[in-house]
Structure 1
């Protein structure tokens, strides 16, 4: 990788961490300079605006978490375990989140709801991607006879993601991961009701 590419990647990575902790609106160019250790001219050599940095930074943060989801799912065999893998990625969200500052989707969705339509669009795409991943797992579970055939796939995916994001929000706010653990336990019990009785 060329030096210029490494510098650009460094700016994206550090800005992603900064925005995910302080928010886009709460982070100034001076904050980016401080986080990256790169002067204003060096930053503008790679990016035309703070908006451009923000879009690249969000993509980096979302992709990082997405890879963690995929890695966790790939270790599991059953559909139930694969759905719970999303929760395991955030199991210790208060002290050891998969990305500094918590969930990029949640943070960006809340901050950009009425203020930054382009970032909001990126968050919406991430929402769709995550729900589609969950729905594919559920469809596969039905196809393989693990889940009941009349299961409402869309509803279960929405429920799963809502429990995940709610657990993240409450745990981050309280500084304790107990809410995530409770949601994981509740979702585990719920999934058992969705499974076919094979006995």
Structure 2
């Protein structure tokens, strides 16, 4: 990495949690300057606009979440366990310090009617996450763990929507009651399709 690339990465790394917490509109360039301890000139010397930082911050957060999910699932030996590990990953994020919620939810809610670029990025990330879930279900069918009637695409859409909704409720209400009910329901459905 060149010095300029390292500086850009540093700015994004420091700004990403702040933008995820405060939102794109509420995060000022001065907030980013304070988080990075760089000058405004240095920030603008590396990025054309705050919006460009926001776009890269979203990409950074999604990549980090995807990597964390993959790591959590990699420890499982069966596809059923991989799905449970994914649920455990989500549940674990609720108690992580300095975790300000799912970037897909946070950026998507803010950008759905106002920012077509971020809306497109969020849509793409949703599709990737749903595809990941469907891929695990299909692998389970191929391995003989799940019945062939287990509809991978339908389950992945339902699971993603339920998880995101449950996570939102958990963060707003400050407890995991609803999200735990959701995970239990999803686990029961998985069990019903196990051979």
The two structures have a TM-score, normalised by structure 2, of 0.93
Aligned residues: 195
For 1:7 and 1:178, locate their aligned partners in 2 and report how far apart those are by CA, in whole Å.
42
Instruction: Tell me the alpha carbon deviations over residues 53-110 of structure 1, each in whole angstroms, 9 at most, x when there is no partner.
Output: 111110000000000110011111222211122211121333217x721111111111
5+ residue gaps, structure 1, are: none
Give 1:33 deviation, angstroms. 1.2
For 1:93 and 1:153, locate their aligned partners in 2 and report how far apart those are by CA, in whole Å.
25
Partner of 1:150: 149
Pairwise CA RMSD of aligned residues? Answer: 1.5
Greater CA drift, 171-180 or 124-133:
171-180
Instruction: Please say if residues 79 and 146 of structure 1, whose CA atoms lie closer than 8 Å, have aligned partners that are also in contact.
Output: yes
The two structures have a TM-score, normalised by structure 1, of 0.92
Give 1:30 deviation, angstroms. 1.2
For 1:25 and 1:86, locate their aligned partners in 2 and report how far apart those are by CA, in whole Å.
31
Runs of 4+ in 1 over 6 A off after TM superposition: none
For 2:103 and 2:41, locate their aligned partners in 1 and report how far apart those are by CA, in whole Å.
28
Matching of residues 16-165 of structure 1 within 5 Å: 16-96=16-96, 100-165=99-164
5+ residue gaps, structure 2, are: none
Greater CA drift, 86-95 or 46-55:
86-95
